[in-house]
Amino acid sequence: MGKSIVITSGKGGVGKTTAVANIGTGLAMRGLKVALVDTDIGLRNLDLLLGLENRIVYNIVDVVEGKCSLKQALVKDKRLNNLYLLPAAQTKEKEAVSIDQMKEVINDLKIEFDYVIIDSPAGIEHGFKSAISGADEAIVITTPEVSSVRDADRVIGFLEAYGLRDPRLIVNRVRFDMVRNGEMLGVDDLLDILSIELLGIIPEDENLIISVNKGEPIIYSGNKYKSALAFNLIVKRLLGEDVSWDELEKSESFIEKIFKIFKG
Amino acid sequence: MSNISIKGDLREGIKMVVNPSLSWDEIKNLIIDEIKNKEKFFKGVNIYIDFQGREIDNTEWEELQKQIYENYGIMLNKDLPKIRIPSSNIAKIIIGPIRSGKLVSSKENLLIIGDVNSGAEIICNKSVFVLGKIRGSIWAGYENNDKAIIFALGLEPEKIQIGSYIFDLPKARHRKAGYFLYIEDGKFKIDTY
């Protein structure tokens, strides 16, 4: 029996789908059997980030409506044999899948897979509730902005109310230089406000935008880019390894130094 | 009861209680003797004289004040600092943090152990004590109880209201380790530690 993890945020556009694509790929690269579930019905994106948009035949709504089996709806990744995507329907609405149906789908996937990573929609309505219903664990992702932090706080409250105790935090789009100058909330400030365990820090990285547009998760590039390194550290942490975040900040300042040399 | 007694139960200093039925001269001599005998003890301490409701002539009082100050360097006060305690000692205890979107309402005093985060709302008919930081909004003394107080270890609130008064807090971050908020003479007061 595998483990299901939901990645959620409350606020939209903070990097849920990117995190799902990269963490899922990272786990699969380590040989684990991974299923990624897009529950953002009506606004699906996860297929694009994985470059699988033209391979989708069936989707999660077809599964719960009995039009196809779960196996038929799963899309195998282009590069990894042990990574699968269960896509959302683009032409239906969130209510097309009930909370109980979602729970059942996730439980069926857990039998086959080591990890089931669930991509939650933004908001705290039906879609969010069904996304977290089948999850064993939760990861909350936020950016260091007050609006995003407040929404994350709300979501943590919801998760706790729904029995998902001890969610862990990923802080996305951190700019260490701005934090050092006091222009951006630091990770310590966020942990102080949200009082949950830190799972990872992802620095702001334009290479990440390029990888999203290419449909190729950045984690494939190994540790070449700082965001890829960050995702690798998160995957390690998820698998129970001890990880130091200093490595990340060091790599950042190293890159900054090189920039400075070039700029003269 | 003796004619003069010392009670050290004020945060700001020492309280001296005198028998209100004595004449002014008797009271005056009692106070002078007391201070003379324990001069070292009183040095540098605020002394508040509690006349227990006895009428005091202002010129006589100022004379005594001056005499004590000139001889011993001690300043006497007769207006007791108001000791702010909640109107009842029953409190509902809530373990925080109180997260965004959560509304907590209580008819009793509230003791919140943990932070009150941005987007959270507390509405309480009596006083609110936060053993943490206030980042959200708090309405103590809902709806018209101006005697309610708020205590917090940290203060970066969205909105603070006591009874019918809304506190207009400057946006700047405060760096103290304890805040008492209360209404006095129709004005918001804030004591820090």
Where along chain A do its domains lie? 3-263
Give the chain B residue nearest A151 (alpha carbons). B100
Query: CA-based angle B138:B140:B146, to the nearest 5?
Result: 140
Indicate yes or no: CB of A193 within 8 angstroms of CB of B101: no
* Distance from the Cα of residue A146 to its chain's centroid: 20
Residue A154 has its nearest CB partner, among B115, B119, B135, at: B119
Chain A residue with Cα closest to B98:
A157
Whole-complex ipTM: 0.76
Q: A14: helix, coil or strand?
A: coil
- Per-residue pLDDT 10s for chain B (193 aa) are 578 887 765 556 777 888 888 888 888 888 888 888 887 777 777 788 888 778 888 888 888 888 888 888 787 877 666 656 666 678 899 997 999 999 999 999 999 999 999 999 999 999 999 999 999 999 999 988 998 999 999 988 999 999 999 987 765 455 677 888 888 888 888 887 7
| Residue A67 in this model has a pLDDT that exceeds 70 | yes
The region that residue A178 occupies, defined by phi over 0 for left and psi between -120 and 50 for alpha, beta otherwise, is alpha
Q: Fold for domain A3-263? A: Rossmann fold (3.40.50)
Structural domains present in chain B? 4-77 (no CATH), 91-192 (2.160.20.70)
Instruction: Identify the residue among A9, A128, A150 best suited for mutation to test binding to B, counting B beta carbons within 10 A and taking the highest.
Output: A150
Q: Hey, is A158 helix, strand or coil?
A: helix
Residue A2: count other Cβ atoms within 10 Å of its Cβ.
Answer: 18
Cα A204 versus chain centre, distance: 16
**pLDDT the model gives residue B28:** 86
Q: How far apart are CA B155 and CA B59, in angstroms?
A: 43
Q: What is residue B35's predicted lDDT score, i.e. its pLDDT?
A: 83
**pLDDT tens profile A120-170:** 999 899 999 999 999 999 999 999 999 999 999 999 999 999 999 899 999
- Please name the residue of chain A whose CA is at the shortest distance from the CA of residue B116: A193
The token duo for B102 is 């959560």
Residue B112 to residues A82, B109, B127, Cα–Cα distance (Å): 48, 10, 11
Chain centroid, CA A57 distance in Å: 23
